[in-house]
Structures are given as structure tokens and as C-alpha cells.
Chains A and B, each alone.
Chain A
Amino acid sequence: MATISSTTPTTPTPAVAAQELAESGPILSVRRLMWIRFKRNRLAIVGALFLGFMYLTAIFAGFVAPYGARETYSNFASAPPHGLNFVDAQGNFHLVPFVYGLTPSADPKTFRKIYTDDTTKLYLLHFLVHGEEYTLFFGLIKTDVHLFGVGSDAQLFLLGTDTQGRDIFSRVFYGAQVSLSVGLVGVFLSLIFGTILGIATGFFGGLFDIITQRIIEILMAFPQFPLWFALAAVIPVTWTPDQVYFAISIVLSILNWGALARQVRGMVYALRETDYVVAARYVNCSDWRIITRHLLPNTLSHIIVIATLAIPGMILGETALSFLGLGIRVPMTSWGLQLSEAQHTRVLLSQPWLLTPAIFVVLTIISFNFLGDGIRDAADPFAK
């Protein structure tokens, strides 16, 4: 289309203009352009899909997990991963995977528990089996149907059991409910706080702005972890698990809102002088209208990017705090709390499978990083 206008310097006739339009394709909205750019980033799509999968399984944790969150098999404590097989000891292939029977015994010398597969007994994997009762959607639905299981005679410890004899695989999903949501709640809190303060300080300026900036500077002078430790230690021992959960998300967001408020303030500061805001002021728009109709929509894509990139840090923070025993407390569970069993090197070395929840932590954080990066590139209107 550039060639047409350069070779024919006359004013474009309606026919030429129509042709130009046809060649350049339909006029796309900003959102649509963002979506097209986002789709091109394959890593971001993979990240988004994985996160979608993780959040879905976390919501339906009770259904996906073969065992309950606190279902304990003390006979089978510290059992190594006991996986599914397709081929039995005689070399026969089974279309439906099965598990062998698991027999615990004690080592005669060290008295440590050892587990042996009983290859004479095969237990087929069943779908939609009845197991421990659980609730979905905060207790709205009560049922005991699990996606898969091997019945009550056999054991299906896909990732092994922890020192108390709870299935690690099942607990990963219950842990995800806390670990995946605490970051979202934390980011949500810092978004509200950071955006309001950022817009207010950027728009109105003055003494309030100066004081807020000083406070943020001081907050940002402290490295995250030491401050998180100190604040997490503030949470009283007597609080209920729900209170602790919210307290942790507040602790995580306390260092985050400052950075967000600063960036939003900077943007609002620049936007305040743009022609359309000045024009809005001349036609007597109220401050509220200017903020909500002009400033907020223009900073929104930026805010979303910052928020997405802040979530992995918070998930990491929760994992670290719970790992050290300062975060989520029993009877709640989280990935960090699961990992905290592996904190003692002796335990870790004899039961390395205790570390498997870490894989989920790492994959989730990487996915969020990919997703955030994809959104950032897509939201930049000057990207090629």
C-alpha cells in the first residue's frame, strides 16, 4: 500500500482508499492487536495453559486427588513413590494400569521401615471411585467420588508418603489451593493499595506525595526476606488458619505496593500534562471523572503487567516462609509446608521424594514469568 501512494501522487480516489483498506485488512481494536501479539509468544501460551491446569486442579483438588488432605496411613509412613505399572512380573501387558500390593516391614538391623512390592497381588486403577468424603466450592458440594483410585485394599502413593504417612501427590493439590491463591490475594491487595496511592500522589502531588514517597523509599531499602521474616513473626500463635492465611498475604503485599505505587505515580505524572487530560479539565470534568475515565484505563495494561510479574515473587515468598515455619500453619497445607519436612538433611537424604512438591513450585513460577513476559510484550503498542 505504501507503493501505491508513492507511484500515484494524486489524491486517493475512493476506489484506491477502499483498496488500501482491503489490503491492510480490517481495522483491529487495541485489545485484538494485543491478543494477536500475545498468541505469537509460544512460551507465554504454554505458561498460561499450565497455570490454567494448575488452578483447575487446585479448585477441584478433592476430586483430582486420590486421598484426602489429612488422610493418614501411619502403617505406610515414609513410603517411597509407588507408581502405576502396565507390564506385570510375568511380562503380560495390561491395558488398564495397576499397582502392586505394598507390604511394610522393618529392616532387622537398622529398624528402618522398608517397603516391598507384593507382585502376586495386582490392583487395577479405577476411575470415579468412592474414597474419603470431601467438599468443593467452600462446602457447597459434598461428595466422596474421586477421579481415580485403587480402592481401600491397595495403596496408590504416586509420589510416596510423608513422614506421617500422608499421600504427597494428593497433598500437592491441596497445597496448591493455598500456594496458588496466596499470591493472587497478595497481588490483589497491593494492586488496590498501590494503584490508589499511585494515582492520588501522581495526580494531586503536594505534601502527601512527598511523605508517601519517603515511606516507600524506606520500605524499599529493606531487602524482602528479612522484612518478611520480621513481619511473619508478628502473627500471633493463637490465630486461626484463615486469619494466618490473610495475614501472610498482607505481609507479602506490604513490600509490593510501594513499587507499584511508584510506577503508577510516574505514569500519572506524565499523563497529567497530556492534551486530552488538559482538554478534559477545560470542559470542567471532575477529578473523579478524569481519574476513572482517562488516567486509569491508560495505566491499566501497565498495572496488569506489573501484577502478573509480581505473583511469582509472592508464591516464592509464601513457600519460603512456610518452609521455615513462619508461614501457613497446620491444619492448612501449602507447598512450602510440605517442603519443610525436607528441611532436615537427615530426613531429606533418606527420603528424597519429599522434595517433589518443589517441581510444582518451580513450574508455576516459571509459567508466571513466561505469562507476564508475554503480556508485557503484547501490551507494548510499539512492539514490532
Chain B
Amino acid sequence: MGKYIFQRILIFIPTLILIAFFGYLIMELPPGDYVTQYASVQNARGNKMSEQAQETMRQELGLDQPLPGRFVAWFGRFIRGDFGNSFELNAPVKDIIFDRLGATLLVSTCVFIVSWGIGIPLGVYSATHKYSKIDNILTTLAFIGLGVPDFLIALALLMLTWSMTGQLLTGLQSTQYVSAPWTLPAILDLLAHLWLPVIAVAVTGIAWVMRVMRGNLLNELGKQYVTTLRAKGVPERTVVWRHAFRNALHPLIAALGQTLAFLINGFAITSVVLNVPTLQAVYLDATIKQDIPLASTILVLIGFLVLAGTLIADILLAWLDPRIRYT
């Protein structure tokens, strides 16, 4: 086991470096750079920037160096935890990320709990009541859930709550609580805002978990050991939950890395629409403005996170499932 984990981590490291390079390179691909972008914005406002001023700005930001040199310098600082300064927001990238991390983790964790907590029981129910009326309804609903983009659900919910209560549930907090201490009303206010983005993204999550769970469990229930258990007279509840369910859970655990990717994808647009201060919203803004330190740091961190998720899933699975031999 120890050797297996060691080996996996050993492969992990070169992949991380490649991801970092790739993530950095993509940000560098657009024609022009932050300065051209900045100059065009300034031009539009009527402050013409001379070529000389642009060149000086480039030198200040280190954008006059060739690309490989910049990557090595950036990566060297990156692994030491120094993510540099954001061009646009003129603040350390680390602070910006830490600022948004709370909201990002909060909504993601909630979505994860809601989609697994609801999706798994529904999936088990639909598999054990295959082709019943409720199973058919659930399966159709799951199809619809997979088809509706989360940001549209968010917009629809936003409209609905506004027409019903007259409250606009954007952001995570009402303005008076933004920098207030965490008192009870502040927490209640947070919860009143939190459900909307969570539901919007969790709909797809529930549908996905349910579909996977149903398929896996059906697959397991058709196997011979289940027939044997039933022939022995083991109660159906024990057959399903103690035996089949445990085996059906493995593919879901194996997809943990994918789940992380899903959580990151899910909030990419919803948080822009709902004005939730997540990392994805900052990232989107940074890509458009070519704020390379900020955008590439977030992109690379996301890549790391998904890769780490896959690694953890693999190790967890090897530990949970004795059939997997780790060599």
C-alpha cells in the first residue's frame, strides 16, 4: 500500500509541472498582453497612452522578458507559495484567492453534500424499483436535470423569488452584513442567500449522482452473489445495503476527481450571474483582462485540485476495495 501511494505521488509531480506550464502558456496565448488591454481601456476613456508609457509599464510588470524566462521565474516563485501581484487589482494574488476561498468552499461543500445526499437515496430507490412508475418519473427528471444549464436555473430561481418575495437574492449576503461580525442574524441572512446558488448547481449534481448510482446498483443486483444471497434467505434490505450498495459505491468514489471538476465547472457561470464572490468569477474576469498572474495561478490551482482529487480517489478506492491490487 505504502509503495503504491509513493509511486502514484511520484507520477503526480511531473504531471503537476506540465499542468503548470500548460496553464501558464494558455494565458500567454492571446495576442497582445495586459498592457495593450489596459491601454485600449484607457484610450476608450480618453486618456491616450503613449508607446513610451506602455513600454515602461511593460518593464515594470516584467512583461518585456521572453516567455520561457518568465515561466521559470513565475514557477519558481509559485512553488514557494509566492503567487505574485495581480495586475488589475494591484494586490497580492494570494490575498485575492484567500478572500474568495471561503465563499468558494462553502458553496462547493454544500452542493457536494446536497447532490450526494439526495442523489444516492434516489438512485438506490430507482434501481430497487426498476421500471416502476416512480422510477420512470425519476429517470425522466434526471434527464431533464442533466439538460438544464445551472445558470439558467439560477436565473429562473432569481426571478421566481423576486416575484414572490420582492427580494433580489444575489450575492451571498445582504449589504449590511458584508463586513459585520458573524452574529445569528448574519448567519441566517447567509443561509437565506446560500440556498439559491446551491440548488441551481446541485440540480445537475443530483441528476448525475442518481443516474450513476442507479446504473451501478442495477449492474450489481444482476450479479450472481446477489442471487446467492437471496437464495440463502438474506433479507432484501441487507442484500441491497450491505452487499450490493457497497460495491455500487466504488465507481462513484472513483469519480471523485470528476466531481471536483464538476463543482468547479458548476460555479463558473452561476457565480457570475448571481454575483457570488467565488474564485471562478474572479478567474473569468482575469482571463478577459489578461491578468496573467491571477488567471494562471487560479487555473493551475484548479488543475492541481482535480489531479489531487483523482489521486485521493485512487488511494481511497485501493483501500476500500480489496479487489484492487496495488502494485
Contacts and interface: CB of A to CB of B under 8 A. Distances in A.
Interface of A: 43, 214, 217-218, 221-227, 229-231, 233-234, 236, 312, 316, 319-320, 323-324, 326, 339, 342-343, 345, 348-349, 352, 355, 358, 361-362, 365-366, 369-370, 373
Contacts of B148: 362, 365
B113 interface: no
Interface in B257-280: 260-262, 264-265, 268-269, 272-273, 280
Nearest to B309: A221
B264 A226 contact: yes
Interface stretch (B51-59, B86-94, B156-164, B225-233): B156-164
A339 B114 CA distance: 28
Given A221-B303, A324-B272, A361-B152, 9 more contacts: A218-B15, A222-B302, A226-B265, A229-B284, A230-B26, A236-B31, A343-B273, A348-B155, A362-B149
Contacts of A226: 264-265, 268, 280, 283, 298-299, 302
Nearest to A47: B143
Contact of B287 (A43, A229, A358, A373): A229
B269 A320 contact: yes
6 contacts: A221-B303, A226-B299, A230-B287, A324-B284, A345-B158, A362-B152
A349 B162 contact: yes
B295 A369 contact: no
Task: Specify the main secondary structure of chain A where it touches its partner.
Answer: helix
A223 B147 contact: no
A343 B275 CA distance: 11
Contact of B306 (A223, A320, A352, A366): A223
A268 B168 CA distance: 54
B34 interface: no
A177 to B, nearest CB: 20
B180 interface: no
Contact of A348 (B19, B143, B158, B280): B158
A168 to B, nearest CB: 16
**Which one of A312, A323, A345, A362 has the highest number of Cβ atoms from chain B below 10 Å of its Cβ?**
A345
B18 A214 contact: yes
A222 B152 contact: no
A43 B143 CA distance: 11
Contacts of B121: none
B178 interface: no
Task: Specify the main secondary structure of chain B where it touches its partner.
Answer: helix
**Which one of A221, A236, A316, A366 has the highest number of Cβ atoms from chain B below 10 Å of its Cβ?**
A221
A355 B284 contact: no
B144 A366 contact: yes
Nearest to A367: B147
Contacts of B302: 222-223, 226
Interface in B286-309: 287-288, 290, 295, 298-299, 302-303, 306-307
A365 B147 contact: yes
B159 A323 contact: no
B128 interface: no
Nearest to B257: A221
A361 B149 contact: yes
B263 to A, nearest CB: 9
B147 A233 contact: no
A218 B26 contact: no
Given A230-B299, A233-B30, A319-B149, A221 B287 contact: no
Contacts of B22: 218, 222
A222 B30 contact: no
A221 B299 contact: no
A345 B168 contact: yes
A319 B147 CA distance: 13
A154 to B, nearest CB: 30
A270 to B, nearest CB: 20
B143 A369 contact: yes
Contacts of B144: 362, 366
Contact of B265 (A214, A224, A231, A345): A224
A320 B155 CA distance: 13
A16 B18 CA distance: 68
Contacts of B324: none
A221 B19 contact: yes
A47 to B, nearest CB: 10
B151 interface: yes
**Which one of A218, A352, A365 has the highest number of Cβ atoms from chain B below 10 Å of its Cβ?**
A218
B287 A320 contact: no
Nearest to B25: A230
A358 B268 CA distance: 18
Interface in B121-176: 140, 143-144, 146-149, 151-152, 155-156, 158-159, 162, 168, 170
**Which one of A230, A316, A366 has the highest number of Cβ atoms from chain B below 10 Å of its Cβ?**
A230
A320 B149 contact: yes
A361 B149 CA distance: 9
A194 to B, nearest CB: 19
B283 to A, nearest CB: 6
Contacts of B13: none
Contacts of B73: none
B287 A225 contact: no
Nearest to A219: B22
A54 to B, nearest CB: 14
A227 B295 CA distance: 11
Given A221-B19, A233-B288, A323 B151 contact: yes
A229 B272 CA distance: 13
A156 to B, nearest CB: 25
Nearest to B279: A226
B27 interface: yes
Contacts of A229: 268, 283-284, 287
Contact of B152 (A349, A352, A355): A355
B29 interface: yes
A349 B155 CA distance: 10
